[in-house]
Structure 1
Amino acid sequence: MTAIQSLTFDLRSPSTGLVIAQVSDQGVQEAQDAAERSVTAFQTWRRTTAYFRAGLLRKFFDLMLRDEAEIARLIATEMGKPVSEALGEVRYAAAFIEWYAEEAKRVFGSVVPSQHAGKRLLVTHEPVGPVYAVTPWNFPAAMATRKLAPALAAGCTVILKPAEQSPLTALKMRDLWTEAGGPADTFQVITASDPIGVTQVMMADARIRKVTFTGSTEVGRLLAAQAAPTLKRVSLELGGHAPYLIFEDADIGQAVADVIACKFRNAGQTCVCTNRIYVQRAVAEEFTARLTAAVQALKVGDPLDASTQIGPLVDAQGLEKVQRHVTDALERGAQATTGGAAGEGLYFTPTVLTGVTPDMLVMQEETFGPVAPLLVFDTEEEAVQAANDTEYGLAAYLWTRDLDRAFRVSEQLEYGIIGLNDPVPSTAQAPFGGVKQSGYGREGGPWGLQEYLNTKYLSMTVR
């Protein structure tokens, strides 16, 4: 193996701006070596029994829960999520490991009836092969386990490339997998300040048979194109622009609490956060007043403080985008009923905007910040049309107590995930993913496991 020069990059806390760690800065050579090790490890790992893999995953799950407080503090420190919220993420992340520890034993084959007496037709499933997984910074534990757990359960080896803003959580999970008894090189983490060279190696290597990516639509398109020459299996969870429809029959107090939970967790930096809130005219005034009061009461502060509800944005680029969106809206006639300005460092005051119009940037792009734009609608048809008027289709939400409307609207919304009176619908046993420019493929439940399996058909003549 080629000797590798030891290079590092500084990792800074978005809360304090201080250097919290120096992380190995890996490049092309390290990527090539990781690919070789993953391919070699796959030849053995693929032949292990489902029960063996399930046992290791169960140990991995137990270790995640054992160290949940430590992992939560890592998340809070490296990307700014409030520690109490980060603890919830760790448990959510561990739930995927637990689910796939159980699901590994349920990759059933089948016998297909034949029209010929002398033939037997069998269908089995096999692991796709070595996997390259790329995850974003906003859920450094959960985005990893949503990919890692089903891949390992299926018998695939995994090379995980976490975001450069949040590699510590991935490295910790790798160590826990090793402690659980995970064989060498079945789960590797490659860290890099500039991921382009690393990714090019993985995409060009025909032996890497699967790429799974969560991130922007722009990067997802590039990866899909790069995967084409080697015909890799691809799953993409990309950008979102989630609408939240508040109908006039909603429980306004509960609807406000739900919008807060959906919009402001992780300071609005989640792909399924609502980005535009449509309120029926009859309740718009009351909803706006109560939402404004609730947002004003949110505690902004140190993410390591258990009482903090809103932490910093992850980096200067993220803060600049939020500022640009809010400034554009205010200059075009919107009003901020609360917030509307940046705080110190990478903090942005939780904001509610009224008088928002479809031509504003906040309605055209995913803001990824603590900004709630409100729009008023009159009819159900108008609300559905506005909700679907986007190239994205990841998640959408609605609040109604009318059962007929619940079904009508849910069926018309062009999204992969619908939260009906539910601001946080994601769970390990359910499918997660979008349509249109929000990508393809699903994570979670049996659908997530299928992403890492090939189907093999055996036709046998019996004489």
Structure 2
Amino acid sequence: MTQPIDAAAALDGIRTDLYIDGHWRSTARTFPVEDPASGETIAEMADAGPADAVAALAAATGAGPGWAATEPRVRAEILRRAFDLLMSGADRLATVISLEMGKPLAESRAEIAYGAEFLRWFSEESVRISGRYSVAPTGGTRLLTMRRPVGPVLAITPWNFPLAMATRKVGPALAAGCTVVLKPAAQTPLTAAYLVAVLEEAGVPPGVVNLIPTSGSAAATAPVLDDPRLRKLTFTGSTEVGRALLGQAATRVLRTSMELGGNAPFLVFPDADLEKTLDGAVLAKMRNTGQACTAANRFLVHESVAPAFADGLARQLGALRIGPGTEPATQVGPLIDGKAVAAMERLVAQAIDDGARPLTGGERWGRQGHFYAPTVLVDVPPGSALLREEIFGPIAPVTTFASDEEAVRLANDTSYGLVGYVFTRDLSRAINVSEQLETGMIGLNQGIVSNPAAPFGGVKESGLGREGGPEGIDEYLETTYLGIAL
């Protein structure tokens, strides 16, 4: 087993400054970074203001032509070096992620492997950007299409996967020849600073990647969104914030990629392998303590197997070890802050008032930090907020259905459409149900779908565009058509 690194050693040397035009800059103001397991401040981060954000955009704009003209193979080698550097420092970075975000060390290491892979994947995609040459149907003209970088990018990332959500945006942007202003979540800026330092060491030129951590996201990014030099906005976060950003982007017709909220249905059919289904359910629900847009939100179980499924899920979730993410034995870490815990308390209290019954959990855990016990609720009424809102925590509401048609209807009864999970051993049922689900992704007999080689994204109010896979680099490329007369 890998030996854990203590907090002091992990944080020693981590930059807490802005990074603009190849220089680390301090600021007059700072904001605290908290360990959610203890509530203690572990670092003070430089606090970017509007002027800093505009300076970062200016640096990205200035570096844009040179980076776009850089040979694809050179861009690819830089991204590959960054991948190697991230993997070689995985133990230290895992401790940093667990300290500032709270997830267990095992999950932090898994995030590093997942997040670093975006750099390797897009290093390979950067040399495969291609156009098209064809003869016009009328025969007198040749049609040529060219691909080129869209331009400077503002990338706004969330706290729940502080490395992977950054590499999923920075990787394809750099591979395409775009420059980036990265605005990480205020809760987890240390991981972003670590990533930027790795990119600098890997050979990314000054101005190509810029970092602006801030405690006032809206104020800092507003002038950047209004600036005609910005050509692309990519955001991962809540649907509510995504709507506001889309409104700002619309005034300048910015290219946008939006990976927003989810309300994932987890469908269990009567022929499903119960043991494998429960393993998938724990993974789909408890990854990141339930703080993931892909987390299973609604467990829709056929009435014939619902009691056995609910009892089995309660046993497994109730047996998970809760504690600080930095302790190697921990399986469930804290929620990100006190507001998240209060949200869990509200949702469970409302559901119980409406008639739901807890089989395990249903309360805070511990005397310090932001912990909530893994919870399974049955008899959840159809109108419950638990079934309407994105839970973003370790609560599993179980409801039933009587037919395949009812399962699909209940699954689609939401404004979200990011991911769904289907557990069945019947191939025809699997295909029929999957074709009817209104989601951008489906996990068939598995509780995890995220893969750098696959297009990640949703439909309806879960977002616009795709990240990862061959489609991921397209979000950062424009197409130019050239008609050639003969």
Output the TM-score relative to the length of structure 2: 0.93
Cα distance in 2 for partners of 1:383, 1:406 equals 12
Task: Give the 3 Å change call, closer, same or farther, for CA 4–98 of structure 1 in structure 2.
Answer: closer
Contact 1:242 1:276 in 2 (8 A): yes
Q: CA deviation at 1:460?
A: 2.3
1:267-307 per-position Cα deviation (integer Å, ceiling 9, x unaligned): 10000000010111111111111111111111101200122
Q: CA deviation at 1:170?
A: 0.4
Which position in structure 2 is the counterpart of 1:14? 36
Q: CA deviation at 1:114?
A: 2.8
Which position in structure 2 is the counterpart of 1:447? 471
> How many pairs are equivalent?
461
3-state SS, counterpart of residue 333 of structure 1: coil
3-state SS, counterpart of residue 445 of structure 1: coil
1:342 aligns with 2:355: no
1:165 aligns with 2:194: no
Which position in structure 1 is the counterpart of 2:376? 352
1:381 aligns with 2:405: yes
Which position in structure 2 is the counterpart of 1:431? 455
Which position in structure 2 is the counterpart of 1:69? 91
Contact 2:26 2:46 in 1 (8 A): no
Which position in structure 2 is the counterpart of 1:156? 178
Q: CA deviation at 1:356?
A: 0.5
Cα distance in 1 for partners of 2:304, 2:186 equals 46
1:309 aligns with 2:318: no
Cα distance in 1 for partners of 2:199, 2:258 equals 25
Which position in structure 2 is the counterpart of 1:299? 321
Q: CA deviation at 1:415?
A: 0.3
Residue 128 of structure 1 aligns with an amino acid whose one-letter code is: V
Task: Give the 3 Å change call, closer, same or farther, for CA 117–390 of structure 1 in structure 2.
Answer: closer
Contact 1:241 1:365 in 2 (8 A): yes
Contact 2:126 2:175 in 1 (8 A): yes
Residue 435 of structure 1 aligns with an amino acid whose one-letter code is: V
Which position in structure 2 is the counterpart of 1:245? 267
Question: Alignment partner for residue 318 of structure 1, among 332, 340, 361?
Answer: 340
1:286 aligns with 2:312: no
Contact 1:97 1:149 in 2 (8 A): yes
Task: Give the 3 Å change call, closer, same or farther, for CA 117–402 of structure 1 in structure 2.
Answer: closer
Q: How does 1:163-242 map to 2 (within 5 A)?
A: 163-242=185-264
1:87 aligns with 2:147: no
Which position in structure 1 is the counterpart of 2:127? 105
Q: CA deviation at 1:147?
A: 0.6
Q: CA deviation at 1:117?
A: 5.9
Task: Give the 3 Å change call, closer, same or farther, for CA 111–336 of structure 1 in structure 2.
Answer: same
1:256 aligns with 2:278: yes
Cα distance in 1 for partners of 2:433, 2:140 equals 52
Point out where structure 2 has 5 or more consecutive residues left out of the alignment: 1-19
Cα distance in 1 for partners of 2:26, 2:114 equals 36
3-state SS, counterpart of residue 231 of structure 1: coil
3-state SS, counterpart of residue 446 of structure 1: coil
Q: CA deviation at 1:5?
A: 4.9
Question: Alignment partner for residue 368 of structure 1, among 371, 387, 392?
Answer: 392
Contact 1:164 1:193 in 2 (8 A): yes
Deviates more, 1:268-277 or 1:197-206: 197-206
Point out where structure 1 has 5 or more consecutive residues left out of the alignment: none
Residue 354 of structure 1 aligns with an amino acid whose one-letter code is: V
Cα distance in 1 for partners of 2:243, 2:234 equals 12
Cα distance in 2 for partners of 1:201, 1:49 equals 32
Contact 2:27 2:48 in 1 (8 A): no
1:92-146 per-position Cα deviation (integer Å, ceiling 9, x unaligned): 0011111000010000111021356664321110000000000100000011111
Which position in structure 2 is the counterpart of 1:407? 431
Task: Give the 3 Å change call, closer, same or farther, for CA 5–280 of structure 1 in structure 2.
Answer: closer
Residue 426 of structure 2 aligns with an amino acid whose one-letter code is: D
Which position in structure 1 is the counterpart of 2:4? none
The runs of at least 4 aligned residues of structure 1 exceeding 4 Å deviation read 115-118
Which position in structure 1 is the counterpart of 2:440? 416
Q: CA deviation at 1:235?
A: 0.7
